């Protein structure tokens, strides 16, 4: 085999490899943490302020798993308050498992029931307001 054939087979192998990489890249699913990440980035100061306000509390919100249910326990400072907000269970490897729940008025410190999502590892992001003061807390969860 002369050098011309070797050069032709080298170019064909390179072309085949490049075509394979292009096809695989079109089949890869890229999920963003948030669809409107730019808008979230602009409002990140609220998260910083919320973390600072939450650090001053006696405790942070606690999400616990009992049997087939999840419960959100708010700090005692918010008993019988008009605190409201959201709980976002963020699953880093599958956006279809993400869940958002509304926090309603806290009555006598009773835990609020949350629907249990699919099994997996989550980051619970709790954002709430009380008397126009923002609060923010995160908790790692492993749901089974």
Instruction: Give percent of the chain above pLDDT 70.
Output: 95
Alpha-carbon span 102 to 20, nearest angstrom: 46
The pLDDT-based confidence of 83 (bands split at 50, 70, 90) is confident
In this prediction, residue 24 carries a pLDDT of: 94
The structure tokens listed for 95 are 């956006």
User: Is the predicted pLDDT of residue 110 greater than 80, yes or no?
Assistant: no
Please state whether beta strands 99-103 and 84-90 pair in parallel, antiparallel, or not at all (unpaired): antiparallel
User: Among 56-60, 64-68, 86-90, whose mean pLDDT is lowest?
Assistant: 64-68
Q: Indicate the pLDDT class of residue 82, thresholds 50, 70 and 90.
A: confident
CA-based torsion, 93, 96, 97, 100: positive or negative:
positive
Q: Which fold, 37-143?
A: Immunoglobulin-like (2.60.40)
Mean pLDDT for the stretch of residues 17-29: 93
Confidence of residue 42 (pLDDT cuts 50, 70, 90): confident
Distances (CA, A) of 39 to 44, 95, 110: 9, 19, 34
List, in order, residues 6 or more apart from 85 with CB less than 8 Å away. 102, 103, 126, 127, 128, 129, 135
Strand-pair category, 62-66 with 112-114: unpaired
Residues above pLDDT 90, as percent of the chain = 32
């Amino acid at each position: 085999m002369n050098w011309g054939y070797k050069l032709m087979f080298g170019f064909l192998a390179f072309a085949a490899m490049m075509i394979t990489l292009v096809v695989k890249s079109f089949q890869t699913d890229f999920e963003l943490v948030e669809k409107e990440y730019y808008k979230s980035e602009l409002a990140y100061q609220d998260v910083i302020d919320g973390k600072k306000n939450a650090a001053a509390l006696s405790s942070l919100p606690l999400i616990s798993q009992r049997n087939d249910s999840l419960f959100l326990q708010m700090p005692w400072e918010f008993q019988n308050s008009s605190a409201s907000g959201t709980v976002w269970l963020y699953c880093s490897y599958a956006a279809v498992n993400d869940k958002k729940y509304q926090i309603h008025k806290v009555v006598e410190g009773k835990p609020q029931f949350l629907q249990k999502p699919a099994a997996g590892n989550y980051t619970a992001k709790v954002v709430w307001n009380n008397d126009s003061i923002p609060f923010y807390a995160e908790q790692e969860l492993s749901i089974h």
